[in-house]
Structure formats: C-alpha cells, structure tokens
A and B are shown apart, each in its own frame.
Chain A
Amino acid sequence: MSSARVGVITFPGSLDDRDAARAVGLAGAVPVPLWHDDHDLKAVDAVVLPGGFSYGDYLRGGAIARFAPVMTELIPAARAGLPVLGICNGFQILCEAHLLPGALPRNGTLHFVCRDQRMRIENNSTAWTSDYAKDQEVVIPIKHGEGRYVADAATLDALERGGLVVARYLGENPNGAMNDIAGISNEAGNIVGLMPHPEHAVEELIGAPGTDGLGFFTSILKKLVNA
C-alpha cells in the first residue's frame, strides 16, 4: 500500500461511503474517513464524494450538502487543484456547489433505475481516468432517480468542444441525459463527476460482473504516487 491518502466524505445519509473507501483501498491507496461536520480535510491528497441521499435529499439531490462545513474547506481546495471525484450524489453535490456545470434533475422515466450500464470513457486525461484507454468501453452499474444530466446549449457546446465529457452511455440512454452524458470533468481535469458507480465494479465476485470501475481509483493512485 502506498502512502497516498484519499479522503471519503460521509454526510448524514451517505450510503456508498464504505464502498468508495473499499475501492480506494483495493486500488492500493489509504482511505481516510472525513466527516461532514468537520472543517477538516485531514491533509488528504484527493477526495471522493460518495453516493447516497445526503441529508435525505428531500429537497433536491446535493442541495443541502453543498453548505456542509466540510464543503467550505473542499470547494476552495478543489478550485486550487485538489483531485475530487463525485459519484452520483457526489456529482449532484459538485453541480450544486458550481464546481461542475449543469444539473441532474429526475430521470426522464421518473423511475429510479439500477442496472449494469455500458458506457465509453471518452476522456482519459483527467486525474481519475488516466488508467483507461481512450474510448474504452466499460460496464459499470448505475443506480439513481435523479441523474438526467442537463445544461444550457453553450455549456454543452463547451463540454463537447473541450473534450470534457468523461463518460458517455452506450445503448439505451437510461435517464434521458443530454448527449448521453454519464460524467464530466472541469477544464483542469482534477474534478470529475459521474452518475455511474465505479466502486460497485471493483471485485469480480461482488456487484456488477467484472472490475471495470477499478480504473478510476488506480488512476488517482498513480497520479498521486508519480506526483
């Protein structure tokens, strides 16, 4: 195990925090639990915002979490280059915090959907995707009720032109996301938001078949070790 330390924030209502920590550990980094109510990032080298329903999310996914004490530390750190991966609810929080553009309203079907989803990793130059081949096709589970990526035309155009679409759904679009977008990054490539759950595809035996999700966690480890 290397000494790269990756924090995983737990909000009340976070559900996949332990799963994210497990993926970090399986990739070889040190998972560090971070608590929503602490003004403390414990000097970690990167942060994962895990899936779940932070504070219940009865209002709108991520709408309350962005104001959490730990976020007042994370937001400036992310703007200064700290690698951050937001998964599902984490992606919603990143959008609410304006660290990533766009929004994630309810799925077009109005139903929660859990399934193993085929997608393509289109940008392998971010802090979290360098271990994938460009345009590599992977199968990673999705599970969300609010995951339909939307943005205004100018934003979409900027994402497409800038190559900032990290992952795109293949086959049937599961939630009505614009341009089949499953995940995006900021221009610097340190902040990535994903609706799919790579932490549920890191062990052969558990979750989705295969280990296609592990690359997100090995990518960040390599970046941190080689930094």
Chain B
Amino acid sequence: MSTDSVKRAEQTPDEPQPYAELGMKQDEYLRVREILGRRPTSSELAIYSVMWSEHCSYKSSKVHLRQFAAKAPASDALLVGMGENAGVVEVGDGWAVTFKIESHNHPSYVEPHQGAATGVGGIVRDIMSMGARPVAVMDTLRFGPADAPDTRRVLPGVVGGIGFYGNCLGLPNIGGEVVFDDCYIGNPLVNALCVGVLRKDQIKLATAPGPGNQVILFGARTGPDGIGGASVLASATFDEESAAKRPSVQVGDPFMEKLLIECCLELFAADVVVGIQDLGAAGVSCATTELAAKGTGGMTVRLDAVPLRDETLRPEEILMSESQERMMAVVTPANVAAFMEICRKWDVPATVIGEVTDVTPEEAARGGRLIMTWHGETIVDLPPRTAADEGPVYDRPFSEPLTQAALNEDAPDRLARPTDLRAALLQLLGAPNIASKEWVTSQYDRYVRGNTVLATPADSGMIRIADVVPGLPGDGPGPDGVTTRGIALATDGNGRYARLDPYAGAQLALAEAYRNVATGGARPLAVTNCLNFGSPEDPEVMWQFAEAVRGLADACKTLGVPVTGGNVSFYNQTGSTAINPTPVVGVLGVIDDVSHRVRPGFTEPGARVVLLGETDAEFGGSEWAHVAHGHLGGLPPAVRLESERLLAEVLVEAAASGLLSGSHDLSDGGLGVALAEACLIGGYGCRVILPGTADAFTELFSESTARALVAVRPGSWDRFAELCAKRGVPACALGETGGESLVVEEVLEIPLTELRTTYEGTLPAIFA
C-alpha cells in the first residue's frame, strides 16, 4: 500500500481525486490546487474538505454572523469575544466566566444515546480549552410529537445519553428546555450548553507561538469513529478492500473526560501550557491548522506518532477521526517533563507529535507552513491559514417564503375561544410542552460539585462561583478568590414564533432568556446562541436565517448584552421540508450575592401576588392556539425590549433588597400557566382576582412579553410598588398566596392535587 506523498502528488498531477464525495464543490477543489500549486495529497484533501465544510468554516453564515460583532454593544465585561473556542466575560472579584452552546442534532437522530452524550463531551472540552473549570451544563431538546412512535425511540435515548455522560463526568445539569413539535419529527434538536469559571488572568487561547515549542496530543487514543468521508479517500486511493463500514457516530467515554478535566486544571495551575485546543469536529486537522494559524504559522507534525486504537488507520483517517476526549497543547521544551508527569498522575496518555516552527516572510505571506510526515514521507505541506481562516465564503441568495404572507394573514382571531376556562387551563397544563419535565430532568444530577443554587424547574439555573471549604484550597484554576457572586443561565427558543417572523422570533428568544435570568435575581450580561435552521441552499431558509441573525444582533445591541459565541446548525430538514427556524438563545447573568437569589414559585403563604407588565390579546404562535386548535398563523407577540430591560431592573433590585419570596416569568401559556406552575413549584396555592383590563380568557392565556409574576414578601409591598413606579413598570396586585387551591375569583378554582396530577402525569404516561 503506497502513501500519497507530496512527491507523489507532484508526479501524478492528473490523478482523479474524490473531492465531490468529500462534499467539496469543484471550484473549492480548484482553489485548493491553486493555493498549493499542485494537486493536494489525499491527506491535504482530507484537511481542506473538513476545514472548509459548512460545520467548520461557517461559509454560508459568516457574512451574516459578522453583525454580532459589528452591532455589539460596548461592554466592559467582554474579555474574549467571538472566534475563540468560547467567549469569556468578567463577572467581578477577579473572576471570569466562559460559556457556549452547540448543536449535536444529526448524531442524536442517528444514535440518540451516543449522539447526545458526545454532544455534552464536546461542549465541555470547548470550555476547558479556555482555561476554565467547567461547572455546569444545560440541554435544550426538541422532538417530534410526544406520542409519536419515533419520539419514544429518540427521547429516552437522548435523555439517557445526556445523563450517562454528564452524571459520570460530574457536572450538574441545571436547566434547559424540552419542546415537542411536528416539525422536529425527522430532525430532533439537541443543543448542549456548558459554563466554566476561571480567574480572569488565567485565560488560555488556542495558539502555537514560540518556535521549538512542542505539540502534545493527550487524552484518548485515536480510533476510527466519526470518520465519515475519510473512508472514501482510503478506499479510492489505496485499497478497495479496506472500505470497511465505519461507525459514523462517535462513542463517548465520560470517565476519560473527567480525568481530562482534572488533568487540564492541574496543567493550568502548574503553568506549563502555552496554547491549548480541544479536538472536536475535524479532529487533528482542525487542531493543528487552527493552532498553527493563530501562532507563528509554522508547525511540523509526525502523524505516525499519534497513538491509535486501531493500528490499521491510514493518515487520512487519522486526520479526520472525531474520536472523543482528546486535547492538543503547545508546551515549551523545558516544561514537557512536568506536563508528562501530571498526565501520568491522572492516567491520561500524552504524546509529543510535533513542534512549532519558524516561517520565512514568504511563507508567512502565503499563510504559514504546516508540514506532516508519515513514516518519513511528507504527506502534508500547506499554509495552515488557508485551511483554518481563508475558506470559501458564500453570500447565498435569500428570499421571503412564498407562503409567508398567507401565514401571517391567518391570524388566530378566528379561532373559537373556550367557554370553560378551568378546562382550558387544565388542558394546557397537561400538554407535553407545558407539563412537568421532571421525568427528563430527574435523570440528571443537578447537585454534584455542591454549588447549585437554582436548578430546574426554576426559570434559570444558578451556580455559586467559588465555594469555601474550611481547611482546603479552592479547586478552580488559579489562586483562590473568595466571592459571594454567582452566575445564572437560561436558554430559550420558540420555533413557532420564529416561523411566523424570524426577526422577531430571535428577539423573543433573547427576551425570554434575559427575563428568566432576571427572575432569579441575576443581572443579564452576555449571550450565546445556537441557530438551528434548514438548508442554506434553500433561499427561503436563508431568508429565515438572515432575518433571525439581524433580529438577534439588533436586540442584543438594544439590551446591551454582547454575543460572545455560538454555533450554527444548517441542514435540519427531512427531504425538502425544513424545521421551523429555531434560534436558541442562552443568556448569562451575574448576581452579586447568591444568598439574594429568588426561588421559583410561591414559597410562603401570605405573600402578595403581583403581575408585572402589560397584557394585550396576543395569540399568534401561542401554546393555546397550538394545543386547542393545532393552529400556527398570524404574528408572534410584540417584542418589547425597553420594557424587558426595565422589568429586569425591577426584578434584580427587588431580589437584592430581599423583597421577593418567589418569582416566575410569563411565557408559554400566559398568566394561567404561570399561576399554576408557581403554586406547584413553590408548594402554596393562591387566591387572585384578574386585573379586568381585558376579558378573562385574554388575561389568562395571552403570551404578551415583558411580564413576570412575583410574590412580594409581607410588609414589602410599598417599597416594591415604589421601585416599579420609578421605572414605569406596571405592577398589578392580584391577590395573596396560601391555601391548597389555585383560585381565580369568579373564573376558576382548582385544588393543587388536581393541578399536580395533570401537570406531572403527562410525560410518565408516555415514556415511563
């Protein structure tokens, strides 16, 4: 079996190459030939094909995503912005936080358990590679209808996979979403978020400076998992017999990941790492080209030094393997021994596979020089920046869907209103999208690490940044820093709203996550996003994408919260039918003193129940229209960003002043659902009277935004009312907490036991 070396490539310029099978367009292939001045070797073709893929290069989304930086609000908190493994924001007392959300949609459909598990693993390594200790995860999940047969295959697998990996890894799962809709039946969405903490002077970057520095691959051995197209190369070029079926979904080993976390933190503490990068999509190809591109531009790699799980792997396969639990570090020669010693302590295999090199000015001008050898032969000799940074960029055509106008004209006004509001509330409360998700979340450890302040079913998850263990040093990166601060996280998205208006839909996702962070008492600070869409080659999908990005960028500017990073997932469709456009937005907030956090729901009797915000009749894309009529049409609720900002200020200040014993945001299902959930989650009933500014149905089920429900502590009402008045936030006292029922005077009365049976019974009845 011969190796396709650079020398051989020069001698056989006309050898046909399987670029199309690797997903490359002809003009992209010709561009590679132009860069190299010859045909690429099969290994080089492997590198360019994965690095220039949609997933790695963002070639269809880049022209739009630039708005996030261009429109970014001025923020003192932002330490590392978009373009690194994850963004970093400063949260005070010398602490910084890094967080990011990423999709693992397609693997989770093919093999739900491992697909979802490795989604957790991948995002956790992104956070580690910034120099942080990962401290929590969240998952936002979207499936077909709850009672569809395939959902019964996919959901338990996804949930089991997330639990298997996250529980064994030891990170608390503190929130997220579970949503059901017809549009996801052939294409579930599995988006995983991780957050980590670090001292702000301890940030690590993916870079390879310093000629002579050593390149070390550490973690799991490289196997044939997730190789996908590489077998095309191997078989077409070398050996027809070897086209063995490879698993296209990676397999996760959370134990190795746990060791990697502790090992990395010890490496950071010992200050023996110059640059670091995780191995995710495109594995060694991505890590070497990106590290070199951000460093001197020069690197040599002995690919045959990569430790293998399968000794028959060819160089092209090693380059494309997506084996999990691997990292790459750049280390000065003097520190290699110390680096290896720490890896040995944690039983983490580590191997020097290359070296950072100097480049000539001519080489630098071409984009640097990355050379890889395979048993002495040069198989890769390319400018790494051309692979990592200078991929193709497409400004794809977009146009509003032909059906959009008709969809928007089909307003929900024509839908029959219910006559029995009690029955309507129970129907909504038991609907899979609203019903308790405990069947899912009880399979996740929410307590591990002992810093969980709030978790599901709270509107946002909250984590104490630094604990104090009497007699022990801190276990975060860097020196101990005592702080009372905490971080809060919420993720939200509403594909129905975005289908009706992608510009507004993205803004509404941001508004809800922003509000959810504030209901716990935290000040919203920064944003991450996972943009799930259909095919970018469909102009109508591209329009949805362009509108959503524009909407999100504009809203982030208005609310003063910068986007720090995120992920785009295209091609979420079955045949030619795309999913509803689903921008998922994660908001990070900070609370100065975690002891001021506000618990979810009605947690004490005798508190005053107060509705904040204004209610209009807004039912387009609402949960009521969906559940009662299967209807999607009209326009989503109005976006009220200035009201959201003022509402958040009220919630944060009221929390800091200790005025609230409970809170809950209003979203899907409106006030009726919020009241019921507040009773069930907090444990106390309430007796309220509706404001009477609209009909009872509208007041109970409209999904107007910028609203929240709070329980004001006895004796705190005057101060709270003053606080609201100062900012012009409408505050309507509805009644008082207490008792064993939800009572809405003259409208309905439902015992908590009945509410609970309805709310908690749905998912177990389907999945248990």
Contact = CB atoms under 8 A, between A and B. Distances in A.
B106 interface: no
A205 B595 contact: yes
A112 B255 contact: no
Interface string B160-174: 100110011010000
Contact of A53 (B255, B346, B441, B471): B255
Interface stretch (B358-366, B446-454, B650-658, B670-678): B446-454
A1 B453 contact: no
A58 B255 CA distance: 9
Interface in B443-489: 443-453, 464, 467, 469-472, 475
Interface string A44-84: 00000001110111100000000000000000000000000
A224 interface: no
A30 B470 CA distance: 7
Interface in A10-54: 12-13, 15-16, 18-19, 21-22, 25-26, 30-31, 33, 51-53
Contact of A114 (B253, B444, B475, B595): B444
Interface residues of B, number: 38
A194 to B, nearest CB: 15
Contacts of A145: 163, 167
A200 interface: yes
A30 B471 CA distance: 6
A112 B472 contact: no
B443 A12 contact: no
B163 A112 contact: yes
A26 B470 contact: yes
Contact of A206 (B443, B445, B450): B450
Contact of A22 (B163, B164, B467): B467
Contact of A112 (B167, B259, B453, B475): B167
Interface residues of A, number: 37
Nearest to A22: B469
B258 interface: yes
A15 B170 contact: yes
A199 interface: yes
B442 A113 contact: yes
A207 interface: yes
Contacts of A57: 168, 255
B660 to A, nearest CB: 16
A141 interface: yes
Contact of B447 (A53, A58, A207): A207
Given A18-B475, A143-B167, A205-B594, A1 B448 contact: no
A143 B170 contact: no
B594 A19 contact: no
Given A31-B471, A56-B255, A207-B452, A113 B443 contact: yes
B347 interface: yes
A19 B450 contact: yes
B448 A115 contact: no
A33 B472 contact: yes
A206 B258 contact: no
Contacts of A19: 448-450
Given A22-B467, A22-B469, A113-B443, A53 B450 contact: no
Interface string A203-222: 00111100000000000000
Contacts of A31: 469-472
Contacts of B594: 205
A12 B163 CA distance: 19
B469 A199 contact: no
B442 A205 contact: no
A1 B163 CA distance: 38
A31 B450 CA distance: 16
Contacts of A15: 170, 258, 448-449
11 contacts: A18-B475, A25-B472, A33-B472, A52-B170, A111-B442, A112-B444, A112-B445, A114-B445, A114-B447, A143-B445, A143-B447
